[in-house]
Structure 1
């Protein structure tokens, strides 16, 4: 399987604009033969916690139809970061997966950063796995990865790849990336981290999206911020700027 982190920027609270921008990344990934593409945390609205409720979505929202169609056309699995609507409750920080066969599923961030609980509701499921080209892929969203039990649950469920959409600043990058590399070594699974390309919600992103092999070896990482694809497969990895 060839898989990639989409290190993209997000327009604050503008779902339509971000969907269109995601399509550019998907087309670029398709040209590279990518079969699994993972976007950062809340890539469809930016890390705008106070405004999330106004643009919260369901996984089958009509605004997202272009992503669903492009995933099917490209025979690609897409994982996008989205504000997920909750009936009579705060929205969730979600990952919506558009499967290559047209199915759609949603995962809600299980472990929250301090302060997020004022704006969002945590998800009840600690792990969600998808079969992508015969490989089990477990999803995580940012603060999920700070809790070893989250990665452990993915490993116990048989994950070959632990894929996280994140927003990580320069100040937190060394600690967070070392933890992710540690999971790859401890649990014997690949790890992918997709970070924002630029600042979002008042946080300056470090960029440096990365992919680690089973055992903890770094396969490839972006050199810093900026819009690009970080791609890996059995032959190694490469960084491809968005054209």
Structure 2
């Protein structure tokens, strides 16, 4: 039995340019739809770029009109889209780092980053995570960047029955060997596939490594994208294991 097609959208975004980044997200979603995707995962803070100093001014409410074109396309394409955005929360003076979940039935949900990197607390407040996604019978747990640095996070996802651990991240060149080793270890230890969507270009002063990747339930790296740039890692599981391909957005 095959799993739905899942896509890690590795995008090179513009700092603080919500309009340009929205257009890029729509391009990714259209291409993913052509490839049969039922779930597309974007990197951390993908709509704004990872720009902590700008986050307060760029923060959007959960019902932001900015998301409407993405919601409409998710409905048309029959896919769930997970996009990154600084979230404005009533009663909080700092935004939260959100993964906005846009379902094909038009509904929305939110996953909030639980664990902040050192220094992020100056600009953001931590959140409480979110529920598992069910995508055509496949259970998917979300993670945003530093969440996966805490071993209890993927462990809890596995305990809740996640078959795929999907992480929206910003990983730089210097951190990639360590972080990819952690993620590979989680896949092997918990017997769940790990899918990572990394930034494909510089953001927030970081040189993102790209190389969005999938590790299978044995911890084997099935595939990763070729370096940086706007690319889609398209994955699905079949009788004899996971299949994956790296697709340039312009292809």
Cα distance in 1, alignment partners of residues 228 and 27 from structure 2: 18
What secondary structure is seen at the aligned counterpart in 1 of 2:174?
helix
Residue 50 of structure 2 is matched in structure 1 by 47
CA shift, 1:41, in A, is 0.3
What secondary structure is seen at the aligned counterpart in 2 of 1:88? Answer: coil
Which position in structure 2 is the counterpart of 1:238? 245
> Paired residue for 1:111, among 112, 115, 118?
115
C-alpha displacement at 1:218, in angstroms? 1.1
RMSD of aligned Cα (Å)? 1.0
In the alignment, does 2:220 pair up with 1:213?
no
Could you tell me which runs of 5 or more consecutive residues in structure 2 were left unpaired when the two chains were aligned. Answer: none
Whole-angstrom CA distance in 2 between matches of 1:24 and 1:178: 31
Q: Give the deviation of 1:228 after TM superposition.
A: 0.6
Aligned to 1:76: 79
Alpha-carbon deviation of 1:211? 0.9
Moved >4 Å (runs of 4+): none
1:93 aligns with 2:97: yes
SS in 2 for 1:232: strand
Q: Once the 2 structures are TM-superposed, how far is the Cα of residue 234 of structure 1 from its aligned partner?
A: 2.0
Query: What TM-score, normalized to structure 1?
Result: 0.97
Tell me the TM-score normalized by structure 2: 0.94
Q: Deviations over 1:82-140 (max 9, x none)?
A: 11112232100110010111110011100110000000000034x53111111111110
**What's 2:126 paired with?**
122
Contact kept in structure 2, 1:6 and 1:194, CA below 8 Å: yes
Work out the number of aligned pairs and report it. Answer: 242
1:62 is aligned to: 65
**SS of equivalent residue, structure 2 residue 175:** helix
Aligned partner of residue 126 in structure 2, secondary structure:
coil
Partner of 1:102: 106
Residues 113, 143 of structure 1: 8 Å contact kept: yes
Q: Is the 8 A contact 1:38 1:163 kept in 2?
A: yes
